[in-house]
């Protein structure tokens, strides 16, 4: 009887050990699947040096596969509640996808013009003509000195997002 009990205990412990190892291996495998790929992590943030921008000429950057427009405004371009003000300079930062159906507007004569259905956005990214229902969207960003880091929502970005809602 005692021998049987010991054998049963041994088999029980063996099953428990195998199940524990299998469970740990499964959890490790699931973590590998859930964790973002290194290439995704690396692509999560994009740094833009504002010193490299020329006033009146927007630059297009890529962040998480999306075009991002950054325009250093000239003095005669309209003021907007979505202006990012750094020192004496004003910038427009926007996701470069038309808010109608997602085409990429092109910069022509101080406006972003969408070739798909004729939508137009002014230098502040506000829709001024055609079917786009709202301004160009704001990407999350934070300001570090004279650099914008896309991917983190800093206080300046939150302030502009709040102003855009008002």
Q: How far is the CB of 120 from ligand FES (least distance, A)?
A: 8
Measured over the CA atoms of residue 80, residue 68, residue 141 and residue 137, the dihedral's sign is positive
Regarding 114 and contact with ligand FES (CB under 6 A), the answer is yes
Binding mask 35-74 toward ligand FES (x if CB under 6 A, else -) reads ----------------------------------------
CA angle 69, 74, 76 (to 5 degrees): 125
CA distance 42 to 40: 5
Does position 130 interact with ligand FES (CB under 6 A)? The reply is yes
Nearer to ligand FES, 107 or 141 (CB): 107
Contact status: 104 vs ligand FES (CB under 6 A): no
Q: How far is the CB of 132 from ligand FES (least distance, A)?
A: 6
Q: Which is nearer to ligand FES, 119 or 125 (CB)?
A: 119
Determine how β-strand 106-108 pairs with β-strand 111-113: antiparallel
Residue 116 binding ligand FES, by CB under 6 A: yes
Q: Is residue 160 near ligand FES by the rule CB under 6 A?
A: no
**138 contacts: CB under 8 Å, gap ≥ 6:** 82, 93, 94, 95, 157, 160, 161, 164
Spell out, one character per residue from 140 to 159, where the chain touches ligand FES: x when CB under 6 A holds, - when not: --------------------
What Å distances lie between residue 93 and 69, 99, 160, CA to CA?
6, 15, 10
3-state secondary structure at position 31 = helix
Structure-token pair, residue 106: 């092109």
Q: Which of 132, 136, 157, 160 binds ligand FES (CB under 6 A)?
A: 132
Rule CB under 6 A: which residues touch ligand FES? Answer: 98, 100-101, 103, 114, 116-119, 130-132
């Amino acid at each position: 009887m005692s021998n049987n009990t010991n054998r049963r205990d041994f088999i029980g412990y063996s099953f428990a050990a195998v199940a524990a190892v299998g469970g740990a291996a499964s959890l490790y495998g699931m973590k590998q699947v859930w964790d973002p790929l290194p290439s995704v992590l690396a692509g999560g943030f994009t740094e833009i040096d504002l010193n490299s921008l020329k006033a009146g000429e927007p630059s297009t950057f890529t962040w998480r596969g999306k075009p991002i427009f950054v325009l250093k405004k000239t003095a005669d371009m309209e003021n907007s509640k979505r202006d990012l003000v750094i020192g004496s300079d004003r910038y427009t930062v926007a996701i470069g996808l038309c808010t109608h159906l997602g085409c990429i507007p092109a910069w022509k004569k101080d406006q972003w013009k969408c070739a798909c259905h004729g939508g137009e956005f002014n230098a502040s990214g506000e829709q001024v003509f055609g079917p786009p229902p709202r301004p160009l969207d704001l990407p999350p960003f934070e300001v570090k000195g004279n650099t914008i880091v896309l991917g983190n929502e800093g206080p300046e970005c939150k302030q502009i997002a709040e102003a855009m809602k008002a």
